[in-house]
A and B are shown apart, each in its own frame.
Chain A
Amino acid sequence: MEYLAFFLGDNLCGLPVRQVREVLRRPPPLARVPNAPSGVAGVAHYRGRIMAVLRLHDVFGLEPPEKRGAETAVVIENKGELYCLAVDAVRGVLSFDSPPAPASALRQGVWREAVGEARRTEEGLMSVLDISGIIARICRNNEEKGPRDGDQNLPYR
């Protein structure tokens, strides 16, 4: 299995390479959408299609990056729709032969729902993001319109 590895704040995260359409050095011009659910910054144009731009920092309750708009953009496809994830730094493609690390009973809050599995790397554990889980969470928060639950900054405790 090959993963695109990147940092969200200090957290090493990964996505299966087959989900990734393209890595853009710079996010495309963003059209803000009023009343969008928390975690959705807006929409943008990508090759004749429209993608939703997600702010994973907000979803995971991380400190927003110092300069918004300067992040690297990862374009992914999920269930026929395009999403653009703003991430802090792309680490590269990592490949693994071994099976993923066992289930993560220690994860809390959003890290439990949004992370499918974990991989051991030389730089510590990499959280493999479950995009469907993240989107479900965003949509649910939108419906509830309530404040987000107290997500913790730390993926593992």
Chain B
Amino acid sequence: MDDLLQDFIAETSDSMAALDNDLVDLERHPDDAALIGRIFRLVHTVKGNCGFLGLPRIENVAHHAENVLGQYRSGALKATPDSVSLVLQSLDRIKEILSGLAATGREPAGDDAALVRLLGMAAVENPGGGAVAESTPPPARDKPAPETSLRVGVETLENIMATVSDLVLTRNLLLSHPAGAGTKEPLQRLDRAVSQLQEDVMKARLQPVGLLWDRMPRLLRDVAIDLGLKVRLEQEGAQTGLDRQVLELLRDPLTHLVRNAAAHGIEKPAERAAMGKPPEGVIKLAARQQGGQVVMTVSDDGRGLDVQAILEKAAARGLADEAALKSMTPEQAWRLILAPGFSTAREVSPAAGRGVGMDVVRENVEKAGGTLDISSVPGRGTVFTLRVPLALSIARALLAQVEDVRVAVLQSTVREVVMLKRDGPHRIERKDGARFLRLRDALLPLVSLHAHFGFDAQAAKSLRPFVIVFEGRGGAFGIIVDRVLAAEEIVIRPVHSVLRGQRLFAGNALLGDGGVVMVLDPFAASAGA
């Protein structure tokens, strides 16, 4: 594809995201002249570029949207929710055309006449838009200041990352040999430089979490209108950096959580007023870095989770037996909503999600090596807390061995490691042919990697193995391995495409010694047990 066209797609996509939020803002502050001016200029720039590149569909839609915006600007038209909705619809159309453009390099076929007619009707006078033209400011960028950032292709960045990984491994090899005469000091310098380089490249891959949040104001607005709610979105820490891979994995879970917070959390304005709450609900997104992790919360000031209703639903769905449900603490009950089968596609309204359950949210967070926690106060609201590693590409992992195969598990997912000693306190018990670990008062189901890997489990009988304990969806479980080797930082890569069929592995990783291990997905291993 043409470079120019590629730039246009990237730039216009950015503008569209910014416009979504600006327009939602505009609805709240219909008289903000500076805001109207900014929106107008962005749309005008998009239109201008289209003419230049020969993109008649986008140009046409942008042109008619601009007419409406021009009327806002001149004061001839008030920015009512109805007309703002129409402009938002035009942006959606432009986004749609853009994605077709990105895929094929040309505008997809389509008919925009109906939308254009509506826009024309909204722009009360002069559908041709002549009134606006002479006051149009130059479409140049707002800031003439020199650029302090530039776009770099993801592929370039990935290549640099690969080279740096290789450099790190080579350095490790060098350092493992005794330094010869005169090489000690240069080696130390090399060591420092490589570490610095690694850190910088990692940083270059970080993107602000705000990129994930960008589409939330719009999403929330649509849900609120659908359900007759009043909701405000607050953001804190949008600049917190997160690896782009992790960011991608969190996109859907976050969308789902925000949608749920509005659809299930926030009460109708009248209901809120009756409880003495302000009629407008608040959903807050917050992020901060904490050590090697990013902690992100999605909180609302709504009705909170109804423990009784959750327990009843769990019982109806057979997620746990009655005795277990009765003895549950509120904390345990809240976690039931994360169980597969708790929410079903049938009862999911368009506002609450597209057939995605909370179990999928949790699964995706775990795929990113993270955890999801819930806390809630009746009548006061609910907080979902996501803890994810800063970068998926470098993570702390526990290395274990099964026969001659080394595997890694992300340390963030490990609850504890139990060594099975003869006459030790922890024993393996058999029940109905399955094996369980007696750990303190609990009986944990055991997963055998020997069986998963097609090894002869009998051969490993004589060993005194280790059990790595994970907190699974249906409770804790253990994975038996022959040895636990060490904990170390690993550089994780997506699974090689020829191995994609393997469900058991979440990735492959380079070790400090230049070796390669497969990264085990303990939850997949437990599901297949």
Contact A31 B515 (CB under 8 A): yes
Contacts A29-B515, A31-B518, A48-B164 given; does A43 touch B496 at CB 8 Å: yes
Residues of B within 8 A of A48 (CB): 161-167, 169, 510
Residues of B within 8 A of A51 (CB): 496
Contact with B along A45-64 (1 / 0, CB 8 A): 10111111010000000000
> For residue B500, which residue of chain A has the nearest CB?
A139
Check if A34 is an interface residue, CB within 8 A of chain B.
yes
Contact B516 A47 (CB under 8 A): no
Check if A36 is an interface residue, CB within 8 A of chain B.
yes
> For residue A49, which residue of chain B has the nearest CB?
B162
Contact B454 A40 (CB under 8 A): no
- The distance from the CB of B459 to the nearest CB of chain A, in whole angstroms, is 15
**5 interchain residue pairs of minimum CB distance:** A48-B166, A34-B453, A48-B165, A48-B162, A31-B516
Check if B498 is an interface residue, CB within 8 A of chain A.
yes
Residues of B within 8 A of A83 (CB): 498
Residues of B within 8 A of A49 (CB): 162, 165-166, 493
Q: Which of A43, A54, A81 contacts B518 (CB 8 A)?
A: A43
Q: Which of B404, B455, B508, B514 contacts A43 (CB 8 A)?
A: B508
Residues of B within 8 A of A143 (CB): 501
Check if B140 is an interface residue, CB within 8 A of chain A.
no
- The distance from the CB of A77 to the nearest CB of chain B, in whole angstroms, is 12
Residues of B within 8 A of A50 (CB): 493, 496, 508, 510, 516
Check if B405 is an interface residue, CB within 8 A of chain A.
yes
Contact A45 B169 (CB under 8 A): yes
- The distance from the CB of B523 to the nearest CB of chain A, in whole angstroms, is 17
Check if B502 is an interface residue, CB within 8 A of chain A.
yes
Q: How many A-B residue pairs have CB under 8 A?
A: 83
Contacts A43-B508, A48-B169 given; does A34 touch B454 at CB 8 Å: yes
> For residue A43, which residue of chain B has the nearest CB?
B516
Give chain A's interface residue range (CB within 8 Å of chain B): 20 to 34
Check if A37 is an interface residue, CB within 8 A of chain B.
yes
Contact B510 A45 (CB under 8 A): yes
Contact with B along A7-45 (1 / 0, CB 8 A): 000000000000000000000010111111100100111
Complex Cα distance, B499 from A138, in Å, reads 10
Residue contacts A-B, CB under 8 angstroms, 20 given: A31-B515, A31-B518, A33-B505, A33-B518, A35-B453, A43-B496, A43-B516, A45-B515, A47-B162, A48-B162, A48-B163, A48-B510, A49-B162, A49-B165, A79-B497, A81-B496, A81-B498, A138-B498, A139-B501, A142-B501
Check if A135 is an interface residue, CB within 8 A of chain B.
yes
Check if B452 is an interface residue, CB within 8 A of chain A.
yes
Q: Which of B165, B404, B493, B514 contacts A32 (CB 8 A)?
A: B404
Residues of A within 8 A of B510 (CB): 45, 48, 50
Complex Cα distance, B514 from A50, in Å, reads 10
Complex Cα distance, B495 from A40, in Å, reads 13
- The distance from the CB of B6 to the nearest CB of chain A, in whole angstroms, is 18
Check if B91 is an interface residue, CB within 8 A of chain A.
no
Residues of A within 8 A of B505 (CB): 33
Question: Apart from A43-B496, A48-B167, A50-B510, what 13 extra A-B contacts exist at CB < 8 Å?
Answer: A31-B406, A32-B404, A33-B502, A34-B453, A43-B499, A43-B516, A47-B163, A48-B161, A48-B162, A52-B496, A52-B499, A83-B498, A142-B501
- The distance from the CB of A133 to the nearest CB of chain B, in whole angstroms, is 13
- The distance from the CB of B408 to the nearest CB of chain A, in whole angstroms, is 11
> For residue B507, which residue of chain A has the nearest CB?
A50
Check if B504 is an interface residue, CB within 8 A of chain A.
yes
Residues of B within 8 A of A32 (CB): 404-405
Residues of B within 8 A of A35 (CB): 452-454, 502, 504
- The distance from the CB of A145 to the nearest CB of chain B, in whole angstroms, is 9
Complex Cα distance, B497 from A139, in Å, reads 9
Residues of A within 8 A of B496 (CB): 43, 50-52, 81
From 389 to 435 in chain B, residues with beta carbon under 8 angstroms from any chain A beta carbon are 404-406
> For residue B449, which residue of chain A has the nearest CB?
A34
Complex Cα distance, B3 from A98, in Å, reads 37
Residues of A within 8 A of B497 (CB): 79, 81, 135
Contact A139 B498 (CB under 8 A): yes
Complex Cα distance, B163 from A32, in Å, reads 24
Complex Cα distance, B405 from A36, in Å, reads 12
Residues of A within 8 A of B501 (CB): 37, 139, 142-143
From 481 to 505 in chain B, residues with beta carbon under 8 angstroms from any chain A beta carbon are 493, 496-502, 504-505
Residues of A within 8 A of B405 (CB): 31-34
Residues of A within 8 A of B406 (CB): 31
- The distance from the CB of B157 to the nearest CB of chain A, in whole angstroms, is 13
> For residue B163, which residue of chain A has the nearest CB?
A48
Contact with A along B500-529 (1 / 0, CB 8 A): 111011001010001111100000000000
Contact A45 B498 (CB under 8 A): no
Residues of B within 8 A of A34 (CB): 405, 452-455, 504
Contacts A31-B406, A36-B499, A36-B502 given; does A45 touch B516 at CB 8 Å: yes
Interface centre among B161, B497, B504, B516 (most CB of A within 10 A): B516
Complex Cα distance, B510 from A50, in Å, reads 8
From 151 to 192 in chain B, residues with beta carbon under 8 angstroms from any chain A beta carbon are 161-167, 169
Contact B498 A135 (CB under 8 A): yes
Complex Cα distance, B503 from A35, in Å, reads 10
